[in-house]
Amino acid sequence: MTGGPVHGTWEPRPAARWEDGFLSGNGHHGALVFGDPDDDRVVVTHHTLVRPNGAEHARPPELAARLADVQDRLLAGDLTAAEDFTDGRPLQWVQPFHPGFQTRLRRPPTAPGGRRRYRRAVDFATGEVTTADGDRTSRVFVSRADDVIVQHVSGGRLTLDVSLDHRLPGAPAGLRVARGALRTPEGAALTLHARYPGSDRSYTGVALLAVTGGRTLPAGAGVRVEDAESVLLLTRVRRHTGEPDVTEETRALRALLADGTHGTLLSYGTLLDRHTRLHRTAYERVTLDLAADPAERALPGSELLRRPGSPALLERLFAAGRYHLLSAGGLLPPRLTGLWTGDWDTAWSGAFTTNANLNLQTASAAAADLPEVTAALANLVHGQLDDWRENARAVFGARGVVAPSHTDGESGLTYHFSREYPLHLWTAGADWLLKPLVDHDETHGGHDPRTVAALAEVARFYEDFLTRTDADGRLVVVPSYSPENRPTGASWGSLDAAMDLSAARHALRTAADHHPDTPEAARWRALADRLPPHRVNADGALAEWARPGLDDTYDHRHLSHLYAVWPLDEITPHDTPHLAAAAHRALCLRGAENDSAHGHLHHALIAARLGDADRAAHALAQVLEGDYFHASLMSAHYPNRHVYNADAAHTLPAVLIETLVQSTPDRLVLLPALPTALPRGRLLGVRTRFGAVLDLAWSPEETHAVLRPTRTRRVELRTSSGTSVLDLVAGEDHVLRTKAW
């Protein structure tokens, strides 16, 4: 552990709280491992586990016929007009994400004084969670190769009671649960079928138990294993409508286990090897080494968290963030809680919140070389385009697509809104969700035809929506909404929010670039050129609303108005210094409101883009010093580990990368916002948007970089030494050296 960063974390004590449980996942199934040595518990989750609450039948409001009227009123100065632009429904939350059940392996309590040394750990490179207690070892991982949760217990002669237990915090009283167990040649099969209250929808868990030595006996709804050498448990969960086919699920797990050679069952080691070949390849693509103290690198995570200024902590959180992000992204991208929860009462429904949270969590996907996460985001986007089309039609009477601010992953329809949160007015979401897919294409070369088609649909929406003009002939975005803020003295729905302007310009121009030499492209570029410019307010700050007379409300957790800075490149210190200075002033005036983790790290990302190393470091320190991380190295939404939430954990790698490397299709910026507390280090394997892999090393004496381009390209290079031009040739390494940063 002294030769480089630690690619894992460990604890010397059991996880008494599920929030401290170590995590594993394959982007479909999740495993949250906690409990004490006499009661091993693994909470089983799956991206599809959302509880019916009426939202499964919700539709977007039919408001298109009233759009012209609300536009007229807003343009005439009635800044409360959008409050009436609703069908009067109460706030409807999306279907909440929930845990399925827990596997429990209980053994007779250890006699007083009989406890031996305890250690639990998670290996980020393999996704394996290990618990060692004396001569007994429990190991868990979620297989990428076989889509199954694999658990193995060995050591001594084992006596265990094994069950599937649905009794988790917040489980609804009306949940109808049936559990069963049956003998199999391998040992036993356990089943759990849970039907949601008042619904025909349900989910089923199946666990196949393979026992080496000893015997298996019925024990209520579970089984008792006596005098065994080892126990292997394979678990899956499925959400469905109607009655489950438990026999088929059991047969599938038995077929998987019987896939060994010469008639033998697959071993735990073989299952792990099949998984690791896929997981390790993805995890090890990018590493960060901050030359941390070897003694601090060896500390358990909970102890390291007490040292917020330690480079070893940043190394481990960077590694943990990439690991958790990779583990949560597959069938869908990470939710507000990633892929995990131990409680049915998940904050904000455990949804995908697309006006900041999901976008921040996936911010590192392209640069940190996690195409698996980009593919998961693409699954969400392309799987919901029909719903997005319905949003555009119902609310705005337009062609094209409009993305919702909240989605449970099943429906992309806009139905979650209220007077204080008129999320149905927000039109920038599709552009923000497509931006990482565009970044991925730039990074890897080529164009995904699905992304190209979706960009055209966003542009067609703006063609139909952007029809109102001001006295100067400029287009007006009306109604307009800046998540989740409002102008001073006005209502939330207004005109010309800076984010809406930037998103419309970016979407129209990007769609035109992807459809060159077409009549549509010419129309889209012309439309983008007619949008009003950003406004600088009386404080010298980039205004959150470009419309004169709409004054800023500074103390807010969102930084939507600086969308032009990050993630877009519309405003940069290099190309638009005047606007960059105004954006920096706006950032300096921004408060933290309720100290949401996403607000602090969003602040850090924008500061890094603007080249303000001190401000980026300060915003990052607010999270490191604010007790946002559990012992699992998963994070919380608020200080003092309040509200389990993946924003900080998944966004932190993006913040660190942005302080070290920034790229566009024709520019590379090295060490743009290097924190002074990190005087030396190495970032290996990061990807650039001009198609090169970059290895970067820096110290007070020298900056050394190696570019491995996959495309021939001329790129502008910016360093502390100045600006130069790089002529990169595909397949030829390019070495850069500067004397100091």
Here the CATH number for the domain that contains residue 468 is 1.50.10.10
**Are 570 and 509 part of one and the same domain?**
yes
**Are 189 and 220 part of one and the same domain?**
yes
Round the CA-based radius of gyration of the chain to a whole number and report it: 27
Q: Is residue 302 part of a domain?
A: no
Q: What is the mean pLDDT of residues 116-131?
A: 94
**Are 74 and 114 part of one and the same domain?**
no
In terms of Cα–Cα distance, which of 379, 614, 590 is closest to 498? 590
**Are 86 and 147 part of one and the same domain?**
no
Q: Is residue 636 part of a domain?
A: yes
Q: Is residue 240 part of a domain?
A: yes
Q: What's the pLDDT at 740? A: 59
**Confidence band for 1, pLDDT divided at 50, 70 and 90:** very low
**Are 473 and 576 part of one and the same domain?**
yes
pTM, rounded to two decimals = 0.97
Q: Is residue 705 part of a domain?
A: no
Q: How far apart are CA 93 and CA 97, in angstroms?
A: 11
**Full residue range of the structural domain in which residue 38 is found:** 8-49+100-284
Q: Is residue 311 part of a domain?
A: no
Q: What is the mean pLDDT of the chain?
A: 95
Work out the percent of the chain whose per-residue pLDDT is above 90.
91
**Are 81 and 114 part of one and the same domain?**
no
pLDDT in tens, 697-724: 999 999 999 999 999 999 999 998 899 9
pLDDT in tens, 69-88: 999 999 999 999 999 999 99
In terms of Cα–Cα distance, which of 474, 478, 481, 578 is closest to 532? 474
Sheet-wide strand order for 692-698:
287-289, 681-687, 692-698, 703-709, 734-738
Give the DSSP letter of residue 671.
Answer: S
Q: Are 561 and 542 in contact (CB under 8 A)?
A: yes
Asked whether residue 434 carries a pLDDT value surpassing 60, the answer given is yes
**Are 250 and 375 part of one and the same domain?**
no
Q: What's the pLDDT at 260? A: 64
435 dihedral zone (left: phi>0; alpha: psi -120 to 50; beta): alpha
Q: Is residue 551 part of a domain?
A: yes
Q: Is residue 676 part of a domain?
A: no
**Are 337 and 268 part of one and the same domain?**
no
Q: Determine the straight-line distance between the first and last CA of the chain, rounded to whole angstroms.
A: 29
**Are 43 and 72 part of one and the same domain?**
no
Q: What is the mean pLDDT of residues 522-548?
A: 97
Specify the CATH number for the domain of residue 170: 2.70.98.50
Helices (H) and strands (E) in the chain, counts: 17, 27
- Which of 240, 264, 284 is the C-terminal boundary of a domain? 284
Q: How many domains does the chain have?
A: 2
pLDDT in tens, 264-288: 788 999 999 999 999 999 999 999 9
**Are 336 and 210 part of one and the same domain?**
no
Q: How far apart are CA 354 and CA 358, in angstroms?
A: 5
pLDDT in tens, 605-615: 999 999 999 99
pLDDT in tens, 231-253: 999 999 999 987 777 888 888 99
**Are 483 and 423 part of one and the same domain?**
yes
Q: How many CA atoms lie within 13 A of 232 on its CB side?
A: 21
Q: Is residue 637 part of a domain?
A: yes
**Are 201 and 266 part of one and the same domain?**
yes
**Confidence band for 2, pLDDT divided at 50, 70 and 90:** very low
